[in-house]
Structure 1
Amino acid sequence: MRHKKPLTPVSLAAALAVSLLAAPVPAFATAAPQADPTAQTARQLLERQVLPENDGWAAAGAGTTGGSAAGPDRVYDVSSRSELLAAFSSGGTDPKIIRIHGDIAANTDANGAPLSCEDYAAGTGYSLAQYLYDFDPARYGTTREPEGPQETARRAAAAQQAATIRWDIPSNTTIVGAGPDSSITGAALRINRAENVIFRNLTVRDAADCFPAWDPTDGATGNWNSEYDLLQIINGSTRVWVDHNHFTDAPNLDSAQPTYFGRPHQVHDGAVDVTNGSDLVTMSYNRFSEHDKLLLIGSTDSTTRGDVGKLRVTIHHNVFQNVGQRAPRVRYGQVDVYNNHFRTSADSEVPYGYTFGAGVESHLYAEANAFTIPVDVPVSSIIAYFKGKVIATSGNAVNGKVVDLRAAYNAEAPADRQLGSDDSWRPVLRTQVNAAQAIPALLADAVGPVFTAGEAN
């Protein structure tokens, strides 16, 4: 972990003047031999940026500033798991900026050596072959969840992996990729009981669970359930800005996993989930690709998690490419989804299920989104029913044509699953709203980790 004295926040005009001055080279082996002063100034602007006013729910109240006020001793350049975890714990919740260089692999030991699933299982007695034998539905049945020595061993092995890859981002933090190739692989990142966090310019990939749990009571035929999301916003966390990132399972797609008991041995869960009374989140200019379960907002139909009046999330100007479902699925929250591009190709490795899930007491407002989908995907499938009552849809375009998504859904839905128009609220915390037909071109080169050392938006 390395500290580097940052520039104080400056206006754009001042930045242009400062960019003409020489600047020191970052103390990293991957740093260029000569520092480009313009590039250094641009990077400082990127990491010191705060969420603009009115930019979604995370702009409500005090807004979201992350670690923008960090002093010189609270700016960290990190390139390994151990350095990143040290930066998280250093200084408590004082404002901090953490810059990620290169790829940080989560499944490693304290010395950076790779860890395998077999390493996590060592000493626990867990064996996948034995687990499959013990809980074969033909032998174990389908009416009760697994219990016994192999389930106990699976839980122990899973706990060892969780202790290695599950990382909590503290309050008042900006975590940012130092360049467009900065990434985190295999981690289950959490914003857990924290506030005021900015997460930007990173590729986050493949939080694979080595030990999915079999549940024969899940659904009509049972299911394998994995534990980890790429990023969780949980347990009352609030004021979070997730911007210009790429969330993906690639190259380790669930479609490449084996099938056991007739069900996919799924090793991935969500991409970015917002649950357990969390609130005031803006997700902007991200790319989500090759992932099944995307964005779960509210994890239970019960009111015991403190979700009522919370789970307010804005999702705008993102690209969703070859994703399966939950983009988002909503319970309780007021969720504003506008100016996104949802793209599904005919040869997608991830089967398409639905996009908008209307759950219990959900208030989802979907406006001016673009959908590019194969002709054999019915427009009615874009919305799915999960005990919701209402949804607002306006100005959305499917393959370039404006379509009333709610009307298309209701035309095919049975009488007891019809969705009414949600007139209970109207989003006001928004940036410019563009026509849906303009969105594919507008976002073509604008999402994901696009910042280089010479650019800042």
Structure 2
Amino acid sequence: MSTFVWHGHAILRAASLTGCTALVLALAGTGAQAHSPSHHHRDPARQTLGAGDGWASHGTGTTGGAAADREHVYTVRTWAEFKKALADGGDAPKIIKVRGTIDAVAEGCEAFAAPGYDFGAYLEAYAPETWGLEQDLSAEPDDSPEGLRRASAAAQDTAIKANVPSHTTIIGVGRNAGIKGASLQIKGVDNVIIRNLTLESPLDCFPQWDPTDGDKGNWNSEYDTAVVYGSTHVWLDHNTFTDGEHPDSEAPTHFGMLYQQHDGELDIVRGADHVTASWNVFTEHDKTILIGNSDSESTAAGDRGKLRATFHHNLFSGLVERAPRVRFGQVDVYNNHFVAEAGYSYSLGIGKESQLVAEHNAFTLAKGIGPAKILKRWNDAPLTARHNLVNGRPTDLIAAHNAELPGTPLRSGAGWTPTLRTAVHPAWAVPALVKHGAGAGRIG
């Protein structure tokens, strides 16, 4: 064994794969500050985000419902109980403990269908060979197949969206707690914690066909698993975001295009600010995380100087893209493990006026996937990418991108230096550490 000194800690580095367990145990001890909140409590539901733990610790910090009185502590087992608990007590601090798996669509998509809606009739009416690809469906009357689809979609929208109020902690109890088929709306609020939940992406029961989207038309879906919209101080920790029982690989095609029924796993948009996502698993998804939803100047006015987020000790595995895609925000991405498999497009998207810092991350790329694909330039914006490993080797991600894609060069130097970090681990240790610590079922 050899000794690696990192931020004042002596870490035993295994000389071979047989030392992996020792390495993880050593890092788990020295990295306790990164793995757990600094404000310990017997009840994990009252734990708060530690000082200096990412952007959500900035200013007033993030305490969620830690100050809740007994009357505002709920244990829920059904979707109805969950929504009732969210609505009870307004913005008074509250803790919602989730036991087991709550299904927001337990009765199936049929429960939302408007009278007369028929998917077969929809396909027949808007097939490209009869409808064409030049006229959209927005002018279709209410009694048309598209009008009935709209009514059905509106019913689902009302049913599966859950508005999370300020000063709220939502936490899974034990190893098997989760919510499936729901869209958590963290909208226009402050001080929210979501922990220890398996969150299965909502399935859009009624995607819209848009003939004018691209050269061949496309299916567009709604409902992010969680959306942080104009909210501040949000901490998402030890959750598992997944498509679960409905992966895109099993979705059918209609009109020659994938019948896409998923949107994002996590969106941070519309002036949202001060977000920390730590020790989560993001898996089995296409458009994973979007930070800033538009390049338009009207949107930019509310996003500039905001959209500040930290991602650390997360696993990004089996994804296609957006891990995350960034506009405007100062986003710190460190100590994450990215695993790229078949179907991979890119991990980190460089968007309009973004200031991304990506350091001390590990990338595991399947055969045939090169490091040039890790970064994707959507707009010309500088970034910092240092001390990252690709398949165990130190790699300059910007240089790799520019060497293979000289027509869309990336510029180095994000223009800021992150200071809100807990223990920073060397990139070689990240895969094992994240494997043993990230995701739901680890706390509570």
Q: What's the TM-score, normalizing by structure 1?
A: 0.85
Contact 1:70 1:96 in 2 (8 A): yes
Matched, 1:251 2:245: yes
Match among 332, 339, 342 for residue 343 of structure 1: 339
- Superposed CA RMSD in Å reads 1.4
Please state how far the C-alpha of 1:49 moved relative to its aligned partner. Answer: 0.8
Partner of 2:380: 388
Contact 1:389 1:418 in 2 (8 A): no
Contact 2:177 2:441 in 1 (8 A): no
| Cα deviation code 1:160-215 (max 9, x no counterpart) | 11111111111000000011210101101110111100000000003000011112
Please state how far the C-alpha of 1:221 moved relative to its aligned partner. Answer: 2.4
1:179-328 maps to which residues of 2 (within 5 A)?
A: 179-234=174-229, 236-305=230-299, 306-328=302-324
Partner of 2:86: 88
Runs (4+) off by over 4 Å: none
Matched, 1:443 2:434: yes
SS of match in other structure, 1:86: helix
Contact 1:286 1:317 in 2 (8 A): yes
1:44-55 maps to which residues of 2 (within 5 A)?
A: 44-55=42-53
Task: From the superposition, tell whether residues 404 and 76 of structure 1 become closer, same or farther in structure 2 (CA, over 3 Å).
Answer: same
Matched, 1:173 2:171: no
- State the distance in 2 between where 1:399 and 1:407 align: 16
Give the letter for the 1:145 counterpart. Answer: D
| Cα deviation code 1:62-109 (max 9, x no counterpart) | 0001000111111111111111111101110000111000111101xx
Contact 2:114 2:148 in 1 (8 A): no
Match among 125, 130, 135 for residue 121 of structure 2: 130
- State the distance in 1 between where 2:42 and 2:117 align: 48
SS of match in other structure, 1:99: strand
Partner of 1:399: 391
- State the distance in 2 between where 1:52 and 1:303 align: 36
Please state how far the C-alpha of 1:43 moved relative to its aligned partner. Answer: 7.8
Please state how far the C-alpha of 1:452 moved relative to its aligned partner. Answer: 5.1
Partner of 1:38: none
Partner of 1:426: 417
- Percent sequence identity over aligned pairs: 47
Match among 104, 107, 116 for residue 106 of structure 1: 104
Contact 1:75 1:96 in 2 (8 A): yes
Task: From the superposition, tell whether residues 452 and 299 of structure 1 become closer, same or farther in structure 2 (CA, over 3 Å).
Answer: closer
Please state how far the C-alpha of 1:386 moved relative to its aligned partner. Answer: 1.0
Please state how far the C-alpha of 1:116 moved relative to its aligned partner. Answer: 2.1
- State the distance in 2 between where 1:245 and 1:136 align: 40
| Cα deviation code 1:249-288 (max 9, x no counterpart) | 0121011111011110011110011011111100000011
SS of match in other structure, 2:298: coil
Give the letter for the 1:101 counterpart. Answer: R
- State the distance in 1 between where 2:388 and 2:257 align: 35
Contact 2:355 2:414 in 1 (8 A): no
1:127-166 maps to which residues of 2 (within 5 A)?
A: 127-147=118-138, 148=140, 149-166=144-161
Please state how far the C-alpha of 1:426 moved relative to its aligned partner. Answer: 1.2
Task: From the superposition, tell whether residues 89 and 60 of structure 1 become closer, same or farther in structure 2 (CA, over 3 Å).
Answer: same
Q: What's the TM-score, normalizing by structure 2?
A: 0.87
Matched, 1:119 2:97: no
